[in-house]
Structure 1
Amino acid sequence: MPPDGYSGVTRLEDTDFNGTLAVIINNKRFQNKMAAQLNQSNNVCIQAREVGRLIRHSPDLNLTDSELMQYIDIFMDLLSDLKYLVADRKAQEAVDKLNQLKLNTLTITTADITTVLNSAIKEKQQDALEAIKEDTKEAIECIQEKAKASIQHLMNVKDSITNVKTFTCASLNRITASKRSSISEIKCEAKKQKQEIEKTGAKEREKLKQVAGELPQREIKIQATHTTSRREELEENMREDLIKFYRKYYSNIPVSPLVEEHDVPLTDFYVHPPLTSIDMQRKFGQCQDFPKKASIHSYRDVFLRGDGELYKDIYITANAGVGKTSFAKKICMTWCQAHRPTEMVEQTFKSEDINSMKTFEFLFMVSLRDVDTSICDLDNMIESSILHYLARFSRFSRLDLEDILNERACLVLLDGLDEWAHPTSCVRGRRDVHATPHIPARERCTVLTTTRPWKLDVIKLGTSQIDRHIEINELDETSTKELTSNAITVLNRQSLPDQPKTVEDFESATSTLKLDNLRYIPYILLQMICLWFDGKSIGRTKCEIYTNIITLTLSRGLLKIDNKGLPPMRGQNLETTYEIPHCLKSNNICKSHYEVLIGLALLAFKKLFSPKAESNLVFDRSEVLQVI
């Protein structure tokens, strides 16, 4: 401990921030709890102690913006130490508050102010009572001393009388006068102390009257505190229920669309795809827009502008099979980890992404493909597809939801805009099926929408409706190998724990194939891995690869309905009616199910080239049954 001001300190409760850091820095046992090297001359604890010293000794108690940002970063680094503090709930709540302070989103509630006022009043009352007790004690001690002196004086007189046999009248008069003088002094001193006590008591009574006069105002504040406490409890309950809901329903993805029943944790399987921001620029005097592209490396690049402000309307586009939904789910899981850390999966998240997601107090993820086709309002979508499924849904009203969306930093994920059409029965009179959902304008709410590129082209958004456009690109060589490794690891765990296959085996099996860019499309790559893992031929050309995928799909479908095959179809007649590709002719399973394949091909053709683009991907089951 530092020698100045800490010599009598023996407990943590009796010291301050500076003293606590001194103990951590100088006690070697704390190295076991810190990832930072405490023996280094400029470790994070020493930096934090220096910041505390600079703030305490600042002559004008002012900081520049750059100094404030630097100091906050140092404190956040200290409280995010990877060995112990990163998993400590109170430390991470402090990091959250610091992050909000940094982004200027920290809210000082009425409860905070009331707590400070109550503490100050209580301290003043305690000081007053202590002052009265101290003055009373001093007065009593003074009176006792005077009385003791008088008694001693009388005893001396008694002794003198005992030793003298003869007294004169003058001697007796002197003794009497001395006694009267002592008694008079005692009375004067007692009167003086009484006046001092009355004076002090009058002052304290005035203070107590002042406090009593403030009681009605305090009652109002207490009522406001109760309201605030209820609101804070409701928000905490909703946040907790959202995290439980997302971790149950959005934390897993299938290894492949062919084996949807084999779900695996998203954190074990997901590979972050390459992202590119697209900013449209128009040169002076020209009508054509020129895209300016830049790589995206973190969630901060996705959600925050260069000045630290949040984007409000973000659109993520990607072609089929690239992973728009998986990308949205990973954002959702990162938010859950930021607000309720789970140590088991901690290493699968980037710390900078966790910090970025702490910016958002609430996250609402809506799968547009699952939304009721009659709903076109954002708040109704959240209420019907999320709130109604939370554990304590009856406690959360529509007004609570609107207050949170308006007053708290919120992120809304709308997944699959291309799989949703605006209802023609819209009560607001919007009849265009390509129109976007009705989204209220809110200061602290960010809406991120995923879609295929064609949808973004047809809705024709104005510059005020989109301020961030990001494209999910196909995988590169590194991410392809990572996804392959993850998929094979999961399949080994489920099927071949004793005889695992390796990435090298897959690379060897596909090295001579003409895969072109197929291996960079996650959807196709995973299906090829499943073919290879099942011991099936992947194929040497695109046609053969697609045929083998169809065959595997049919095989698994037949197993699901517990049927070895459908009744024989009119294969010969269909061969004379349609030109069947050679790859299908040479495959027995496909050959025995021509009618099903031809019907599905006809449906795919009609939907793909339909003028109603909104029905390309999502259509009723009855339409499928009509053609097979």
Structure 2
Amino acid sequence: MHQPKPCPNSICDDIRDEIIKKHRYKRPSWKNTSAEQWTSNHWELAKCFMPPDGYAGVSNIQGTDFNGVISVMMNCSHFDGTMSFIIASQQPSGPCLLTKAREISNSIRHSPTCKVQATDLNEIFKTMLAILEDSRVLAHDTDAQDAASKLKQLQNESTDISLTDVYQLLKESQEASEQACQVSAEAKVEIKTLMDKIRELENKFDNSQTCVKNVNPEMEDTIYAQKVLELRRRLIKHYTDNTQYVSVMQNHDISLMEIYATPAIHRVDTKKDGKRKKSEPVFTYKGMFYIEHESKQRIFIQGEPGKGKSTFASKLVLDWCNECISARGPTEKDTDFSDTETLKVFKFVFYIALRDSRNQRKVTDMIKKQIIEKIYFDKDVDSAHILLQTILEKEKCLVVQDGLDEWSDPEKEAGLPLLAASLQSIVLITTRPWKMSDDRLKNSQVDCLLEIEGVKDSFVLCRKVLDCLISDDLDRKVVQFTRYIHDNGLAGLLATPMLITPIVCLWVDNTYLTGSSCQIYTIIIDGMLKKANTQTEYFQDPPFQCFNNTKHIKPNLKQIESLSKAAFYLLLNIERENALVFSEADILKHISIEEKMFAITSGILSERTVSTLSYRPSTCSFFHTNVQEFLAAIHIASNEKLIYDVIVPYFDCHQNAWFEISHVFKFLCGLNINAANILSRAIDECQQQLYDRQHSICMKTVCQIQDFVTSGFVEH
């Protein structure tokens, strides 16, 4: 009797025993497998659960037929928990779906005619789809759902495909026959008979095509509905995978729903004279989308940097997803914007970040680039794009355009991305307030204007962030943090939600602030630098007061100077669409590849690869606009001559451009008050020149300039 070779590592016996234990009938097919490959090829283990004949030579799932794969699932008890039904060949209710599928496969493989009756074919489709759409695991598997989608398409269009293929095959036969030069008399008769039959079939084919064109509208509606459901499924998965979590600190993500705090939003009314005035607060989605029971097509949400515009947009998208799958998040009914059922009116919500589509004009092209190309295989992108346009024409959709201030028309004509007026979509646009003064943006295009001013209760958000960072004694920590904020006069900084997380994280790390915005961003940058270089050194004579007591900036001062120069020249780029999101080539004009990698490692700079069908270009941006503005202010503070050499010519090219650098001016006041005075004087001179040319002045513009100049001197 042949004895198995002993295992040199004494583990094969254990694996053998586990295989026997997992086999439903305790009879593994040992002659299929090679024990020597058990540790290197998992498919050698799977072959133990296949039929005993015909599978010894296969080495992977691609080389295994349907019967072999289905046998693994039926014979290995590991799969018992992966299907919603009991896996067994026989049970009181009849054989399970896997058994039925194997019987179908065997009957087709051994059929002498390879023909299937229409009723049997429908049963085959039903069985296979039931397996692919099983609720336990496969319903959530992208590959399985792709296969199910193709199977449904084949089921609904099988007759048309078959007839077309047959007709085309016979046409090719006819062409080949006509090219024959020498044939026998008997063959000529046969060819003539064949050609007569082809022409007869051609007439029938033409008639059948007419019938196809007049196919039952209900079938067309069914096919369309299936494609719509498939797109929604993919879209929801895309949003939940990419929007559901936010970063609290390095390598620490948390659900947006857990940390989200209620925003403070109010309506802004536009008077007949064009003036805008703050109006009533908005607490619900219904109050946002409807005014006096009438829906508005274009809704704008304006807000200063870091006030929560993008976060609110992301929360809305997730609320829509939860409504679609009937899985409500933790939102309580007594909180603002808890009426998520209002979002059910939208068949689709399409979220696009305008900063990632700076070279595009059409909304449909933006959706294709940012969404369709990410959720469909390349071969299906064009058909999905056509489906998108049909959906936008037929269905009520919401298009969220995040960051209008980070986009400008490549052809410098339109104030908004282009969306066909006949479409039924409602558009929600977030932007900084200065963009609302764009001459290309008409009052008639603004159906509803809202303003977000941060969160209703900053300390609620502080508590949620603290809850993510500490494991015990939360109430006592919240009291201590609240006292720290009030004692140091930092409450004003909490009005900007973006600053709350770093302020809380710094406090947890025993790093304390005094209230200056310059100091806040200095400490944020100082903390980020240690990710790229842990070396520490303190300034004896810091170039700016806010650099005092930092320990990572001095060892990396050369990199900070290079990044500040890049931030300045990119921010004041004549091509304004490249100011905030720029190509790798653009930033490498100002810094080296090594400095770019340093900035990316630290997190100060982010790099994103944009997937397209033909190539994968790379774009870069600073991790937040305020950081780019702070770094640009550092460069100006060290090079005052740039104010008249670069900034004033930039003002000459772009009317009212001084609003775009209002935050730069504020930071400059905290860094170098002399440079800030020079910039203030330059702005006043440009305003005077504009007045001399137009012989009039807008008091609103004057007040806005006064406001940001005042805020700058408060920073000082």
TM superposition score normalised by structure 2: 0.48
Per the alignment, residue 216 of structure 2 pairs with: 223
Given the superposition, is the C-alpha separation of residues 383 and 601 from structure 1 closer, same or farther in structure 2, using an over 3 Å criterion?
Answer: closer
Per the alignment, residue 545 of structure 2 pairs with: 582
What is the deviation of 1:487?
0.6
Match 2:397 to one of 381, 386, 410: 410
Match 1:466 to one of 436, 442, 446: 446
- Alignment of 1:549 with 2:524, yes or no, is yes
What is the deviation of 1:504?
1.4
What is the deviation of 1:336?
0.8
Given the superposition, is the C-alpha separation of residues 289 and 513 from structure 1 closer, same or farther in structure 2, using an over 3 Å criterion?
Answer: same
Match 2:419 to one of 439, 444, 450: 439
Q: Distance in 2 between matches of 1:243 and 1:422?
A: 29
The letter of the residue matching 1:322 is: K
Q: Distance in 2 between matches of 1:515 and 1:295?
A: 26
Q: Distance in 2 between matches of 1:406 and 1:548?
A: 50
- What's the CA shift string for 1:568-623, capped at 9, x where partnerless? 99x99xx7xxx811331443322233223333334444455566544443234455
Q: Distance in 1 between matches of 2:329 and 2:270?
A: 42
Match 1:367 to one of 333, 336, 353: 353
Other structure's SS at 1:386 match:
helix
Per the alignment, residue 325 of structure 2 pairs with: 340
- Alignment of 1:487 with 2:487, yes or no, is no
- What's the CA shift string for 1:21-51, capped at 9, x where partnerless? xxxxxxxxxxxxxxxxxxxxxxxxxxxxxxx
Per the alignment, residue 121 of structure 2 pairs with: none
Q: Distance in 1 between matches of 2:450 and 2:250?
A: 28
Other structure's SS at 1:412 match:
strand
User: Which is greater in Rg?
Assistant: 1
Q: Distance in 1 between matches of 2:376 and 2:475?
A: 41
Other structure's SS at 1:502 match:
helix
The letter of the residue matching 2:508 is: F
Other structure's SS at 1:276 match:
strand
Match 2:409 to one of 397, 401, 422: 422
Other structure's SS at 1:564 match:
coil
Given the superposition, is the C-alpha separation of residues 228 and 603 from structure 1 closer, same or farther in structure 2, using an over 3 Å criterion?
Answer: same
Match 1:353 to one of 307, 321, 339: 339
What is the deviation of 1:311?
1.0
- Alignment of 1:451 with 2:431, yes or no, is yes
What is the deviation of 1:399?
2.6
- What's the CA shift string for 1:423-481, capped at 9, x where partnerless? 2xxxxxx334x7322111135210111111122212532233221111111334xx201
Other structure's SS at 2:299 match:
strand
In structure 1, stretches of 5+ residues that fail to align are: 1-217, 424-429
Q: Distance in 2 between matches of 1:351 and 1:298?
A: 4
Per the alignment, residue 513 of structure 2 pairs with: 538
What is the deviation of 1:253?
1.4
Partners of 1:318 and 1:324 within 8 A in 2: yes
Match 1:281 to one of 271, 276, 279: 271
- Alignment of 1:521 with 2:496, yes or no, is yes
Given the superposition, is the C-alpha separation of residues 491 and 624 from structure 1 closer, same or farther in structure 2, using an over 3 Å criterion?
Answer: farther
Other structure's SS at 1:381 match:
helix
Per the alignment, residue 161 of structure 2 pairs with: none
Q: Distance in 2 between matches of 1:238 and 1:535?
A: 48
Partners of 2:404 and 2:435 within 8 A in 1: yes
Per the alignment, residue 619 of structure 1 pairs with: 582
Match 2:557 to one of 584, 594, 603: 594
Per the alignment, residue 262 of structure 1 pairs with: 252
Q: Distance in 1 between matches of 2:415 and 2:251?
A: 35
Mapping 1:247-258, distance limit 5 Å: 247-255=240-248
What is the deviation of 1:299?
0.6
Q: Distance in 2 between matches of 1:381 and 1:543?
A: 36
Other structure's SS at 1:315 match:
strand
Q: Distance in 2 between matches of 1:498 and 1:320?
A: 33
Mapping 1:75-224, distance limit 5 Å: 223-224=216-217
What is the deviation of 1:290?
4.4
Partners of 1:273 and 1:473 within 8 A in 2: yes
Match 2:386 to one of 399, 405, 414: 399
What is the deviation of 1:271?
1.1
What is the deviation of 1:421?
2.9
Partners of 2:398 and 2:428 within 8 A in 1: yes
What is the deviation of 1:343?
5.1
Per the alignment, residue 241 of structure 1 pairs with: 234
- The percentage of aligned residue pairs carrying the same residue is 26
Instruction: Compute the RMSD of aligned alpha carbons.
Output: 3.3
Per the alignment, residue 110 of structure 1 pairs with: none
- Alignment of 1:298 with 2:284, yes or no, is yes
Q: Distance in 1 between matches of 2:513 and 2:226?
A: 56
What is the deviation of 1:500?
9.1
What is the deviation of 1:238?
1.4
What is the deviation of 1:535?
2.3
Given the superposition, is the C-alpha separation of residues 314 and 253 from structure 1 closer, same or farther in structure 2, using an over 3 Å criterion?
Answer: same
Q: Distance in 1 between matches of 2:264 and 2:568?
A: 31
The letter of the residue matching 1:267 is: M
The letter of the residue matching 1:366 is: I
Q: Distance in 1 between matches of 2:222 and 2:555?
A: 68
Match 2:361 to one of 355, 366, 376: 376
Per the alignment, residue 483 of structure 2 pairs with: 508
Q: Distance in 1 between matches of 2:396 and 2:464?
A: 34
Q: Distance in 2 between matches of 1:260 and 1:439?
A: 39
Q: Distance in 2 between matches of 1:522 and 1:292?
A: 21
Per the alignment, residue 326 of structure 1 pairs with: 311
The letter of the residue matching 1:411 is: L
Q: Distance in 1 between matches of 2:397 and 2:438?
A: 28
Q: Distance in 2 between matches of 1:279 and 1:357?
A: 24
Other structure's SS at 2:443 match:
coil
Partners of 1:298 and 1:352 within 8 A in 2: yes
Aligned residues: 379
The letter of the residue matching 2:434 is: W
Given the superposition, is the C-alpha separation of residues 603 and 459 from structure 1 closer, same or farther in structure 2, using an over 3 Å criterion?
Answer: farther
Partners of 2:262 and 2:336 within 8 A in 1: no
The letter of the residue matching 1:525 is: I
What is the deviation of 1:363?
0.9
What is the deviation of 1:488?
0.8
Partners of 2:267 and 2:450 within 8 A in 1: yes
Given the superposition, is the C-alpha separation of residues 260 and 469 from structure 1 closer, same or farther in structure 2, using an over 3 Å criterion?
Answer: farther
> With CA pairs under 8 Å and 6+ residues apart, which has the higher RCO, 1 or 2?
1
Given the superposition, is the C-alpha separation of residues 502 and 221 from structure 1 closer, same or farther in structure 2, using an over 3 Å criterion?
Answer: farther
TM superposition score normalised by structure 1: 0.55
- What's the CA shift string for 1:96-120, capped at 9, x where partnerless? xxxxxxxxxxxxxxxxxxxxxxxxx
Q: Distance in 1 between matches of 2:279 and 2:575?
A: 31
Q: Distance in 2 between matches of 1:290 and 1:521?
A: 23
What is the deviation of 1:220?
10
Given the superposition, is the C-alpha separation of residues 486 and 441 from structure 1 closer, same or farther in structure 2, using an over 3 Å criterion?
Answer: same
What is the deviation of 1:219?
12
Q: Distance in 2 between matches of 1:302 and 1:405?
A: 21
The letter of the residue matching 2:393 is: N
Partners of 1:537 and 1:548 within 8 A in 2: no
What is the deviation of 1:248?
0.9
Partners of 1:514 and 1:541 within 8 A in 2: no
Partners of 1:518 and 1:524 within 8 A in 2: yes
